[in-house]
Amino acid sequence: MENNPGTGTEKDLRKLKREKLAKLIAMGVEPYKYRFSVTCSIGEVKKRYADVTHEKTKEKVTVAGRIMGIRIHGKAGFADVLGQDDKIQAYFRMNDLGEQKFEIFKMLEVGDIIGLTGPVFRTKMGEVTIWVEEFDLLTKCLLPFPEKYHGLQNLELRYRQRYLDLIVNPEVRKTFIMRSRIISYIRSWLDKRGYIEVETPILQPIYGGALARPFKTHHNYLDMDLYLRIAPELYLKRISVGGLEKIYEIGKNFRNEDIDAQHNPEYTSLELYESYSDYYGMMNLTENLVCDLIKELIGDYRLPYGDKMLDFTPPWRRITMADAIAEYGKVEVRRKTKEEIYDIAVSLGVPDVTSEMSKGELIGEIFDFVAQKHLINPTFILNHPADISPLARRLKEDPDFSERFELFINGWEIANAFTELTDPDQQLQNFNCQAEMRARGNEEAHPIDMDFITALECGLPPTGGLGIGIDRLVMVLTNSPSIKDVIFFPQMRQTQQVMPGECKKEER
Protein backbone atom coordinates (compact mmCIF):
# COMPACT_ATOMS: atom_id res chain seq x y z
CA MET A 1 0.00 0.00 0.00
CA GLU A 2 1.50 3.35 -1.07
CA ASN A 3 0.33 6.14 1.24
CA ASN A 4 0.51 8.90 -1.38
CA PRO A 5 -2.79 9.49 -3.23
CA GLY A 6 -2.16 10.04 -6.91
CA THR A 7 -5.69 10.81 -8.05
CA GLY A 8 -8.17 13.57 -7.40
CA THR A 9 -8.03 17.28 -7.95
CA GLU A 10 -5.67 19.58 -6.10
CA LYS A 11 -8.55 20.82 -4.00
CA ASP A 12 -9.64 17.28 -3.07
CA LEU A 13 -6.15 16.22 -2.07
CA ARG A 14 -5.66 19.29 0.09
CA LYS A 15 -9.00 18.60 1.76
CA LEU A 16 -7.94 15.01 2.58
CA LYS A 17 -4.72 16.26 4.13
CA ARG A 18 -6.63 18.74 6.27
CA GLU A 19 -8.92 15.94 7.43
CA LYS A 20 -5.90 13.83 8.46
CA LEU A 21 -4.49 16.83 10.30
CA ALA A 22 -7.71 17.14 12.29
CA LYS A 23 -7.65 13.41 13.14
CA LEU A 24 -4.06 13.61 14.33
CA ILE A 25 -4.86 16.55 16.57
CA ALA A 26 -7.88 14.65 17.93
CA MET A 27 -5.52 11.76 18.77
CA GLY A 28 -3.38 14.13 20.84
CA VAL A 29 -0.61 14.56 18.25
CA GLU A 30 1.04 18.00 18.11
CA PRO A 31 1.58 18.41 14.33
CA TYR A 32 4.10 21.27 14.55
CA LYS A 33 6.86 20.60 17.08
CA TYR A 34 9.13 23.32 18.48
CA ARG A 35 12.39 21.40 18.09
CA PHE A 36 13.92 17.94 17.75
CA SER A 37 17.46 16.92 18.70
CA VAL A 38 19.31 14.71 16.21
CA THR A 39 22.55 12.81 16.82
CA CYS A 40 23.72 12.89 13.20
CA SER A 41 22.59 13.60 9.65
CA ILE A 42 21.10 10.94 7.40
CA GLY A 43 24.15 11.12 5.17
CA GLU A 44 26.41 10.48 8.15
CA VAL A 45 24.35 7.39 9.04
CA LYS A 46 24.76 6.02 5.51
CA LYS A 47 28.54 6.57 5.62
CA ARG A 48 29.06 5.34 9.18
CA TYR A 49 27.08 2.15 8.64
CA ALA A 50 28.03 1.44 5.04
CA ASP A 51 29.22 -2.04 6.10
CA VAL A 52 26.37 -2.84 8.49
CA THR A 53 25.10 -6.44 8.46
CA HIS A 54 21.60 -7.88 8.84
CA GLU A 55 22.05 -7.73 12.62
CA LYS A 56 20.80 -4.56 14.34
CA THR A 57 23.55 -2.35 15.72
CA LYS A 58 23.85 -1.96 19.48
CA GLU A 59 24.03 1.81 19.19
CA LYS A 60 21.05 3.86 18.11
CA VAL A 61 20.82 6.91 15.91
CA THR A 62 18.38 9.80 15.94
CA VAL A 63 17.72 11.54 12.63
CA ALA A 64 15.07 13.73 11.05
CA GLY A 65 13.83 14.33 7.53
CA ARG A 66 10.96 14.48 5.10
CA ILE A 67 9.00 11.39 4.06
CA MET A 68 9.38 10.80 0.32
CA GLY A 69 7.67 7.42 0.17
CA ILE A 70 5.60 5.23 2.50
CA ARG A 71 4.74 1.53 2.16
CA ILE A 72 2.49 -0.24 4.68
CA HIS A 73 2.28 -4.05 4.87
CA GLY A 74 -0.16 -5.09 7.58
CA LYS A 75 1.52 -4.58 10.95
CA ALA A 76 4.77 -3.23 9.49
CA GLY A 77 5.82 -0.60 7.03
CA PHE A 78 8.69 1.30 5.45
CA ALA A 79 9.28 5.00 4.84
CA ASP A 80 11.93 6.73 2.73
CA VAL A 81 13.20 9.70 4.71
CA LEU A 82 15.08 12.52 2.98
CA GLY A 83 17.60 14.72 4.78
CA GLN A 84 19.82 17.48 3.38
CA ASP A 85 22.61 15.15 2.33
CA ASP A 86 20.97 11.78 1.62
CA LYS A 87 17.91 9.56 1.89
CA ILE A 88 17.47 6.49 4.13
CA GLN A 89 14.88 3.79 4.58
CA ALA A 90 13.12 3.45 7.94
CA TYR A 91 11.36 0.28 9.16
CA PHE A 92 8.29 0.56 11.44
CA ARG A 93 6.65 -2.37 13.33
CA MET A 94 3.55 -2.38 15.48
CA ASN A 95 5.29 -4.78 17.90
CA ASP A 96 7.98 -2.16 18.59
CA LEU A 97 5.84 0.95 18.55
CA GLY A 98 2.55 -0.18 20.09
CA GLU A 99 -0.84 -0.12 18.42
CA GLN A 100 -1.62 3.58 18.98
CA LYS A 101 1.75 4.80 17.73
CA PHE A 102 1.53 2.50 14.72
CA GLU A 103 -1.86 3.99 13.89
CA ILE A 104 -0.20 7.40 13.84
CA PHE A 105 2.48 6.02 11.51
CA LYS A 106 -0.23 4.77 9.15
CA MET A 107 -1.61 8.30 8.92
CA LEU A 108 1.70 9.79 7.81
CA GLU A 109 2.04 10.87 4.18
CA VAL A 110 4.61 11.90 1.64
CA GLY A 111 5.86 15.38 2.56
CA ASP A 112 5.48 15.01 6.33
CA ILE A 113 8.61 15.73 8.35
CA ILE A 114 9.45 13.22 11.07
CA GLY A 115 12.13 12.47 13.63
CA LEU A 116 13.03 8.90 14.47
CA THR A 117 15.32 6.86 16.70
CA GLY A 118 16.57 3.31 16.44
CA PRO A 119 19.41 0.93 15.55
CA VAL A 120 20.67 0.41 12.01
CA PHE A 121 20.57 -2.81 10.01
CA ARG A 122 20.69 -4.06 6.43
CA THR A 123 17.53 -5.54 4.91
CA LYS A 124 17.43 -8.73 2.86
CA MET A 125 17.34 -6.47 -0.19
CA GLY A 126 20.67 -5.02 0.91
CA GLU A 127 19.46 -1.55 1.91
CA VAL A 128 20.83 0.27 4.95
CA THR A 129 17.77 0.90 7.14
CA ILE A 130 16.87 2.36 10.54
CA TRP A 131 14.79 0.02 12.72
CA VAL A 132 12.44 2.56 14.27
CA GLU A 133 11.85 2.27 18.01
CA GLU A 134 10.56 5.81 18.49
CA PHE A 135 9.32 8.50 16.13
CA ASP A 136 7.60 11.88 16.21
CA LEU A 137 5.67 13.86 13.63
CA LEU A 138 7.54 17.17 13.51
CA THR A 139 5.68 19.01 10.74
CA LYS A 140 2.52 18.01 8.89
CA CYS A 141 2.67 18.75 5.15
CA LEU A 142 -0.61 20.08 3.76
CA LEU A 143 0.31 20.26 0.06
CA PRO A 144 0.17 17.26 -2.28
CA PHE A 145 3.56 16.43 -3.79
CA PRO A 146 4.28 15.79 -7.49
CA GLU A 147 3.96 12.17 -8.60
CA LYS A 148 7.18 10.45 -7.54
CA TYR A 149 8.13 8.78 -10.81
CA HIS A 150 8.13 12.00 -12.79
CA GLY A 151 9.14 14.51 -10.15
CA LEU A 152 8.66 18.22 -10.74
CA GLN A 153 9.35 18.81 -14.43
CA ASN A 154 7.46 22.03 -15.18
CA LEU A 155 10.13 24.75 -15.39
CA GLU A 156 7.73 27.55 -14.56
CA LEU A 157 6.62 25.80 -11.38
CA ARG A 158 10.17 24.77 -10.46
CA TYR A 159 11.42 28.35 -10.52
CA ARG A 160 8.38 29.83 -8.78
CA GLN A 161 8.21 27.16 -6.07
CA ARG A 162 11.87 26.35 -5.52
CA TYR A 163 11.06 24.70 -2.20
CA LEU A 164 9.25 21.90 -4.05
CA ASP A 165 12.03 21.75 -6.66
CA LEU A 166 14.66 21.23 -3.95
CA ILE A 167 12.63 18.50 -2.28
CA VAL A 168 11.76 16.36 -5.28
CA ASN A 169 14.74 16.92 -7.61
CA PRO A 170 18.01 15.71 -6.03
CA GLU A 171 20.15 17.20 -8.82
CA VAL A 172 18.80 20.66 -8.06
CA ARG A 173 19.80 20.27 -4.43
CA LYS A 174 23.30 19.18 -5.49
CA THR A 175 23.64 22.23 -7.74
CA PHE A 176 22.88 24.67 -4.94
CA ILE A 177 25.13 22.85 -2.49
CA MET A 178 27.91 23.12 -5.09
CA ARG A 179 27.17 26.83 -5.50
CA SER A 180 27.67 27.30 -1.76
CA ARG A 181 30.92 25.33 -1.84
CA ILE A 182 32.21 27.39 -4.78
CA ILE A 183 31.60 30.68 -2.97
CA SER A 184 33.10 29.35 0.25
CA TYR A 185 36.19 28.16 -1.63
CA ILE A 186 36.65 31.54 -3.34
CA ARG A 187 36.49 33.32 0.02
CA SER A 188 38.96 30.92 1.62
CA TRP A 189 41.34 31.14 -1.37
CA LEU A 190 41.42 34.93 -1.24
CA ASP A 191 41.64 35.11 2.56
CA LYS A 192 44.70 32.85 2.53
CA ARG A 193 46.40 35.25 0.12
CA GLY A 194 45.92 38.29 2.29
CA TYR A 195 42.78 39.76 0.76
CA ILE A 196 40.35 41.56 3.07
CA GLU A 197 36.61 41.15 2.54
CA VAL A 198 34.77 44.49 2.60
CA GLU A 199 31.24 45.76 2.04
CA THR A 200 30.12 48.72 -0.04
CA PRO A 201 26.71 50.43 -0.45
CA ILE A 202 23.95 48.80 -2.45
CA LEU A 203 21.91 52.03 -2.42
CA GLN A 204 23.95 54.66 -4.24
CA PRO A 205 23.23 58.32 -5.10
CA ILE A 206 25.23 57.92 -8.35
CA TYR A 207 25.49 54.48 -9.90
CA GLY A 208 28.63 53.44 -11.74
CA GLY A 209 31.39 50.90 -12.26
CA ALA A 210 29.77 49.38 -15.35
CA LEU A 211 27.80 50.25 -18.45
CA ALA A 212 24.23 49.27 -17.58
CA ARG A 213 20.78 50.62 -16.75
CA PRO A 214 19.96 50.84 -13.02
CA PHE A 215 16.92 50.37 -10.83
CA LYS A 216 15.80 53.65 -9.26
CA THR A 217 14.14 54.24 -5.90
CA HIS A 218 13.46 57.17 -3.56
CA HIS A 219 14.49 57.71 0.05
CA ASN A 220 11.62 59.46 1.79
CA TYR A 221 13.48 60.83 4.81
CA LEU A 222 16.36 62.29 2.78
CA ASP A 223 13.99 63.16 -0.08
CA MET A 224 16.49 61.98 -2.67
CA ASP A 225 16.61 59.47 -5.48
CA LEU A 226 18.88 56.47 -5.06
CA TYR A 227 19.93 53.63 -7.33
CA LEU A 228 20.53 49.96 -6.70
CA ARG A 229 24.15 49.45 -7.55
CA ILE A 230 25.08 48.05 -10.94
CA ALA A 231 28.62 47.33 -9.63
CA PRO A 232 30.62 48.01 -6.46
CA GLU A 233 33.70 49.20 -8.39
CA LEU A 234 33.87 52.91 -7.62
CA TYR A 235 33.38 52.40 -3.87
CA LEU A 236 35.95 49.61 -3.75
CA LYS A 237 38.49 51.86 -5.47
CA ARG A 238 37.76 54.56 -2.89
CA ILE A 239 38.77 51.98 -0.26
CA SER A 240 41.96 51.30 -2.23
CA VAL A 241 42.68 55.03 -2.15
CA GLY A 242 42.37 54.76 1.63
CA GLY A 243 45.28 52.33 1.80
CA LEU A 244 43.75 48.84 1.91
CA GLU A 245 45.87 47.15 -0.74
CA LYS A 246 44.11 43.80 -1.33
CA ILE A 247 40.32 43.84 -1.00
CA TYR A 248 37.33 41.92 -2.33
CA GLU A 249 33.56 41.87 -2.12
CA ILE A 250 31.10 39.09 -2.95
CA GLY A 251 27.64 40.53 -3.26
CA LYS A 252 24.56 41.38 -5.26
CA ASN A 253 24.38 43.74 -8.21
CA PHE A 254 21.21 44.90 -9.97
CA ARG A 255 20.73 45.76 -13.62
CA ASN A 256 17.45 46.83 -15.19
CA GLU A 257 17.91 44.83 -18.37
CA ASP A 258 16.57 41.87 -20.31
CA ILE A 259 16.07 38.45 -18.73
CA ASP A 260 17.35 35.39 -20.58
CA ALA A 261 19.34 32.19 -20.00
CA GLN A 262 22.43 34.19 -18.99
CA HIS A 263 20.91 37.31 -17.38
CA ASN A 264 18.93 37.90 -14.21
CA PRO A 265 18.26 41.45 -12.95
CA GLU A 266 19.75 40.51 -9.56
CA TYR A 267 23.01 38.60 -9.71
CA THR A 268 26.09 37.83 -7.63
CA SER A 269 29.63 38.92 -8.41
CA LEU A 270 33.11 38.73 -6.97
CA GLU A 271 34.98 42.00 -7.35
CA LEU A 272 38.54 42.50 -6.11
CA TYR A 273 41.34 45.06 -6.25
CA GLU A 274 45.04 44.70 -5.67
CA SER A 275 47.33 47.70 -5.37
CA TYR A 276 50.55 47.64 -7.39
CA SER A 277 49.19 45.00 -9.76
CA ASP A 278 47.84 45.28 -13.32
CA TYR A 279 45.62 43.37 -15.73
CA TYR A 280 48.29 40.72 -16.29
CA GLY A 281 48.35 40.11 -12.54
CA MET A 282 44.57 39.82 -12.60
CA MET A 283 44.79 37.36 -15.51
CA ASN A 284 47.16 35.13 -13.56
CA LEU A 285 45.01 35.39 -10.44
CA THR A 286 41.83 34.51 -12.35
CA GLU A 287 43.37 31.45 -13.99
CA ASN A 288 44.94 30.23 -10.74
CA LEU A 289 41.73 30.77 -8.72
CA VAL A 290 39.43 28.95 -11.14
CA CYS A 291 41.87 26.10 -11.80
CA ASP A 292 42.48 25.58 -8.07
CA LEU A 293 38.73 25.65 -7.45
CA ILE A 294 38.06 23.03 -10.13
CA LYS A 295 40.89 20.81 -8.92
CA GLU A 296 39.63 20.96 -5.32
CA LEU A 297 35.87 20.66 -5.84
CA ILE A 298 35.61 18.64 -9.07
CA GLY A 299 38.98 16.99 -9.57
CA ASP A 300 39.16 17.09 -13.39
CA TYR A 301 39.99 19.98 -15.71
CA ARG A 302 37.76 18.47 -18.41
CA LEU A 303 34.11 19.22 -17.68
CA PRO A 304 30.98 18.48 -19.71
CA TYR A 305 28.65 21.33 -20.58
CA GLY A 306 25.62 20.36 -22.64
CA ASP A 307 26.94 18.53 -25.69
CA LYS A 308 30.43 20.06 -25.33
CA MET A 309 33.50 19.11 -23.32
CA LEU A 310 35.21 22.15 -21.77
CA ASP A 311 38.96 21.93 -21.11
CA PHE A 312 40.24 24.11 -18.25
CA THR A 313 43.80 22.75 -18.39
CA PRO A 314 46.19 25.69 -17.88
CA PRO A 315 47.63 27.76 -19.41
CA TRP A 316 44.57 29.37 -20.97
CA ARG A 317 44.63 31.05 -24.34
CA ARG A 318 45.27 34.81 -24.48
CA ILE A 319 44.39 36.84 -27.61
CA THR A 320 43.65 40.49 -28.27
CA MET A 321 40.18 41.57 -29.32
CA ALA A 322 41.51 42.85 -32.66
CA ASP A 323 43.30 39.54 -33.34
CA ALA A 324 40.15 37.58 -32.44
CA ILE A 325 38.16 39.66 -34.93
CA ALA A 326 40.84 39.04 -37.56
CA GLU A 327 40.84 35.29 -36.84
CA TYR A 328 37.10 34.70 -36.81
CA GLY A 329 35.83 37.58 -38.96
CA LYS A 330 38.72 37.77 -41.43
CA VAL A 331 38.81 41.57 -41.12
CA GLU A 332 41.27 44.07 -39.61
CA VAL A 333 40.02 46.83 -37.30
CA ARG A 334 43.29 48.35 -36.13
CA ARG A 335 44.40 51.65 -37.62
CA LYS A 336 41.01 52.17 -39.25
CA THR A 337 38.77 55.23 -39.16
CA LYS A 338 35.35 55.05 -37.55
CA GLU A 339 33.74 55.24 -40.99
CA GLU A 340 35.84 52.31 -42.24
CA ILE A 341 34.93 50.21 -39.18
CA TYR A 342 31.24 51.06 -39.64
CA ASP A 343 31.45 49.87 -43.26
CA ILE A 344 33.12 46.64 -42.07
CA ALA A 345 30.32 46.06 -39.55
CA VAL A 346 27.64 46.57 -42.19
CA SER A 347 29.41 44.27 -44.67
CA LEU A 348 29.59 41.54 -42.01
CA GLY A 349 25.87 41.88 -41.27
CA VAL A 350 26.38 42.95 -37.64
CA PRO A 351 22.87 43.77 -36.33
CA ASP A 352 21.80 47.06 -34.74
CA VAL A 353 24.90 49.11 -35.60
CA THR A 354 24.51 52.79 -36.52
CA SER A 355 26.79 55.47 -37.85
CA GLU A 356 26.23 57.35 -34.58
CA MET A 357 28.16 54.72 -32.61
CA SER A 358 31.72 55.42 -31.51
CA LYS A 359 34.66 53.58 -33.03
CA GLY A 360 35.02 51.41 -29.94
CA GLU A 361 31.32 50.60 -29.79
CA LEU A 362 31.48 49.38 -33.39
CA ILE A 363 34.54 47.21 -32.70
CA GLY A 364 32.80 45.74 -29.66
CA GLU A 365 29.71 44.88 -31.70
CA ILE A 366 31.84 43.27 -34.42
CA PHE A 367 33.66 41.14 -31.83
CA ASP A 368 30.38 40.03 -30.24
CA PHE A 369 29.03 39.02 -33.65
CA VAL A 370 31.99 37.22 -35.23
CA ALA A 371 34.16 35.94 -32.39
CA GLN A 372 32.42 35.46 -29.04
CA LYS A 373 30.49 32.30 -29.95
CA HIS A 374 33.76 30.52 -30.82
CA LEU A 375 35.35 31.02 -27.38
CA ILE A 376 34.37 27.68 -25.82
CA ASN A 377 37.43 26.76 -23.76
CA PRO A 378 38.64 29.43 -21.30
CA THR A 379 40.02 32.34 -23.33
CA PHE A 380 41.27 35.76 -22.24
CA ILE A 381 40.32 38.51 -24.70
CA LEU A 382 42.71 41.44 -24.19
CA ASN A 383 42.90 45.11 -25.08
CA HIS A 384 39.37 46.38 -25.56
CA PRO A 385 38.65 49.73 -27.24
CA ALA A 386 39.36 52.57 -24.83
CA ASP A 387 36.09 54.39 -25.41
CA ILE A 388 34.03 51.43 -24.14
CA SER A 389 36.42 50.97 -21.19
CA PRO A 390 36.13 54.33 -19.39
CA LEU A 391 37.59 53.07 -16.09
CA ALA A 392 40.62 51.28 -17.60
CA ARG A 393 44.10 52.54 -18.40
CA ARG A 394 44.96 53.03 -22.08
CA LEU A 395 47.64 50.99 -23.82
CA LYS A 396 50.89 52.90 -24.05
CA GLU A 397 51.60 51.63 -27.56
CA ASP A 398 48.07 52.21 -28.89
CA PRO A 399 45.85 54.62 -26.90
CA ASP A 400 42.78 53.60 -28.93
CA PHE A 401 42.78 50.41 -26.85
CA SER A 402 42.91 49.73 -23.11
CA GLU A 403 44.60 47.43 -20.61
CA ARG A 404 41.49 45.37 -20.12
CA PHE A 405 40.55 41.73 -20.53
CA GLU A 406 37.44 39.62 -20.44
CA LEU A 407 37.44 35.89 -19.74
CA PHE A 408 35.12 33.88 -21.99
CA ILE A 409 34.00 30.30 -21.36
CA ASN A 410 31.38 28.52 -23.46
CA GLY A 411 30.99 31.73 -25.45
CA TRP A 412 29.97 33.69 -22.33
CA GLU A 413 31.70 36.53 -20.56
CA ILE A 414 32.67 35.20 -17.13
CA ALA A 415 35.14 37.85 -15.90
CA ASN A 416 36.16 41.43 -16.68
CA ALA A 417 39.34 43.15 -15.48
CA PHE A 418 41.43 46.29 -15.93
CA THR A 419 44.63 47.95 -15.15
CA GLU A 420 42.72 50.65 -13.30
CA LEU A 421 42.83 54.23 -14.49
CA THR A 422 44.45 56.32 -11.75
CA ASP A 423 44.76 59.70 -13.54
CA PRO A 424 41.87 61.91 -12.32
CA ASP A 425 42.05 64.25 -15.32
CA GLN A 426 41.90 61.37 -17.81
CA GLN A 427 39.06 59.81 -15.79
CA LEU A 428 37.04 63.03 -15.93
CA GLN A 429 37.69 63.25 -19.67
CA ASN A 430 36.42 59.66 -20.07
CA PHE A 431 33.31 60.48 -18.04
CA ASN A 432 32.65 63.46 -20.31
CA CYS A 433 32.94 61.20 -23.37
CA GLN A 434 30.42 58.85 -21.75
CA ALA A 435 28.12 61.83 -21.23
CA GLU A 436 28.30 62.51 -24.96
CA MET A 437 27.35 58.87 -25.66
CA ARG A 438 24.40 59.24 -23.29
CA ALA A 439 23.31 62.38 -25.15
CA ARG A 440 23.32 60.33 -28.36
CA GLY A 441 20.89 57.87 -26.78
CA ASN A 442 23.16 55.30 -25.09
CA GLU A 443 21.22 54.65 -21.86
CA GLU A 444 24.03 52.45 -20.51
CA ALA A 445 26.75 55.12 -20.72
CA HIS A 446 28.57 55.83 -17.44
CA PRO A 447 27.38 58.87 -15.44
CA ILE A 448 29.82 61.46 -14.10
CA ASP A 449 30.79 60.90 -10.45
CA MET A 450 32.71 63.94 -9.19
CA ASP A 451 33.25 62.50 -5.72
CA PHE A 452 35.09 59.60 -7.34
CA ILE A 453 37.23 62.11 -9.25
CA THR A 454 38.02 63.76 -5.89
CA ALA A 455 39.07 60.37 -4.50
CA LEU A 456 41.41 59.85 -7.48
CA GLU A 457 42.88 63.30 -6.84
CA CYS A 458 43.84 62.02 -3.39
CA GLY A 459 45.83 59.30 -5.17
CA LEU A 460 44.95 55.74 -6.23
CA PRO A 461 48.06 53.55 -6.45
CA PRO A 462 48.69 51.47 -9.59
CA THR A 463 45.93 48.88 -9.26
CA GLY A 464 44.59 45.78 -10.93
CA GLY A 465 40.85 45.14 -10.62
CA LEU A 466 38.76 42.06 -11.41
CA GLY A 467 35.10 41.13 -11.51
CA ILE A 468 33.80 37.55 -11.87
CA GLY A 469 30.15 36.64 -12.43
CA ILE A 470 29.50 33.99 -9.80
CA ASP A 471 26.21 32.79 -11.30
CA ARG A 472 27.65 32.12 -14.76
CA LEU A 473 30.70 30.43 -13.25
CA VAL A 474 28.40 28.15 -11.26
CA MET A 475 26.39 27.45 -14.43
CA VAL A 476 29.53 26.27 -16.23
CA LEU A 477 30.81 24.17 -13.34
CA THR A 478 27.44 22.47 -12.68
CA ASN A 479 26.38 21.97 -16.32
CA SER A 480 23.29 24.15 -15.78
CA PRO A 481 21.56 25.42 -18.96
CA SER A 482 20.03 28.58 -17.46
CA ILE A 483 21.00 31.16 -14.86
CA LYS A 484 17.61 30.43 -13.30
CA ASP A 485 18.94 26.98 -12.43
CA VAL A 486 21.68 28.38 -10.15
CA ILE A 487 19.71 31.20 -8.43
CA PHE A 488 17.35 30.02 -5.71
CA PHE A 489 14.63 32.52 -6.60
CA PRO A 490 15.14 34.01 -10.08
CA GLN A 491 13.10 37.01 -11.12
CA MET A 492 9.87 35.98 -12.86
CA ARG A 493 6.95 37.79 -14.40
CA GLN A 494 4.34 38.42 -11.71
CA THR A 495 1.34 36.15 -11.84
CA GLN A 496 -1.49 34.98 -9.63
CA GLN A 497 -0.68 32.51 -6.90
CA VAL A 498 0.08 29.09 -8.41
CA MET A 499 -0.90 25.96 -6.51
CA PRO A 500 1.43 22.94 -6.50
CA GLY A 501 0.64 20.72 -9.44
CA GLU A 502 -1.06 23.56 -11.32
CA CYS A 503 0.71 26.17 -13.46
CA LYS A 504 -0.45 28.85 -15.83
CA LYS A 505 1.21 28.73 -19.21
CA GLU A 506 2.80 32.11 -19.66
CA GLU A 507 5.93 33.75 -20.94
CA ARG A 508 8.91 33.35 -18.67
- Residues 118, 192 within the same domain: no
Looking at the structure, tell me whether residues 205 and 294 fall in a common domain: yes
Chain-wide mean pLDDT for the chain?
93
Q: Give a yes or no: residue 2 inside a domain.
A: no
Predicted confidence at residue 444, as pLDDT, reads: 85
| Whether pLDDT at 2 is above 70 | no
pLDDT at 150: 55
Structure confidence by residue, pLDDT tens digits, 50-66: 999 999 999 999 999 99
DSSP β-ladder status, 203-204 and 224-228: antiparallel
Q: How many residues does the chain have?
A: 508
Please give the full DSSP string across 58-97, using - where no structure is assigned: SS-EEEEEEEEEEEEETTEEEEEEE-SS-EEEEEEEHHHH
Q: Do residue 135 and residue 173 come from a single domain? A: no
> What single string gives the DSSP state of each residue in 301-350?
SEEEETTEEEE-PSSPEEEEHHHHHHHHH----TT--HHHHHHHHHHHT-
Note down the domain range covering 85: 12-139
What is d(CA 331, CA 323) in angstroms, rounded to the nearest whole number?
Answer: 9
User: Could you tell me if 182 and 274 lie in one domain?
Assistant: yes
C-alpha dihedral sign at 47, 51, 57, 59? negative
Within-domain flag for 201 = yes
User: Which conformational region is residue 218 in: left (phi greater than 0), alpha (psi within -120 to 50 degrees), or beta?
Assistant: beta
What mean pLDDT comes out for the span 321-337? Answer: 96
- Average pLDDT for residues 223-248, to the nearest whole number? 97
What is the model's pLDDT at position 497?
Answer: 59
Q: What is the pLDDT of residue 147?
A: 66
Q: Are residues 250 and 393 in the same domain?
A: yes
Q: Please give the single-letter amino acid code of residue 272.
A: L
**Same-domain check for residues 106 and 226:** no
Is there a domain that residue 157 lies in? no
C-alpha–C-alpha distance, residues 199 and 226, integer Å:
18
Work out the pLDDT band at 479, boundaries 50, 70, 90.
Answer: very high
**How much is the average pLDDT of 453-471?**
98
Residue 398's pLDDT is 93
Give the pLDDT band (50/70/90) at residue 148.
Answer: low
> Is 4's pLDDT higher than 80?
no
- How far apart CA 507 and CA 493 sit, in angstroms, is 8
* Contact by Cβ (8 Å): 271, 233: yes
- Across 142-146, 158-162, 312-316, the highest mean pLDDT is recorded for 312-316
For residue 74, pLDDT beyond 60:
yes
Q: What pLDDT does residue 503 have? A: 47
Residues 120 and 188 in one domain: no
In a domain, 240, yes or no: yes
Q: Are both 86 and 210 inside the same structural domain?
A: no
Within this chain, do residues 122 and 256 fall inside the same structural domain, yes or no? no
Read off the CATH number of the domain in which 68 is found.
2.40.50.140
Treating both helix axes as pointing N-terminal to C-terminal, what angle do 338-348 and 359-370 enclose, rounded to 10 degrees? Answer: 30
Q: Tell me what pLDDT residue 62 has.
A: 98
Q: Is residue 144 a part of any domain in this protein?
A: no
Of 155-159, 243-247, 331-335, where does mean pLDDT reach its minimum? 155-159
pLDDT over threshold 80, residue 189: yes
**Rg of the Cα trace of the chain?**
29
Would 356 be classed as within a structural domain? no
Q: Is residue 266 part of a domain?
A: yes
Query: Looking at 94, 119, 139, which one is the last position of a domain?
Result: 139
Q: Does residue 360 lie in a domain region? A: no
Q: How confident is the model at residue 8 (pLDDT cuts 50, 70, 90)?
A: low
- Burial (CB < 10 A; 0-12, 13-18, 19+), residue 499, is middle
C-alpha neighbours within 13 Å on the C-beta side of residue 65: 26
How many domains does the structure of the chain reveal? 2
| Separation CA 506–CA 51 (nearest Å) | 50
Task: Give the residue from 77, 75, 90, 164 showing the smallest Cα distance to 120.
Answer: 90
Q: CA-CA distance, 274 to 99, in Å (whole number)? A: 69
Section 298-315 average pLDDT:
97
Instruction: Judge if 180 and 118 occupy the same domain.
Output: no
CA dihedral 111, 113, 119, 121 (to 10 degrees): 20
268 lies in the same domain as 125: no
| 495-508 confidence digits (pLDDT tens) | 765 554 454 444 34
Helix axes 470-478, 279-297, angle to 10 degrees: 40
- pLDDT for 5 beyond 50: no
Task: For residue 402, give the CATH number of its domain.
Answer: 3.30.930.10
* 310 in the same domain as 258: yes
DSSP string, 399-438: TTBBSEEEEEETTEEEEEEEEB---HHHHHHHHHHHHHHH
CB atoms within 10 A of CB 468: 22
Q: What does the longest C-alpha to C-alpha distance in the chain come to?
A: 89
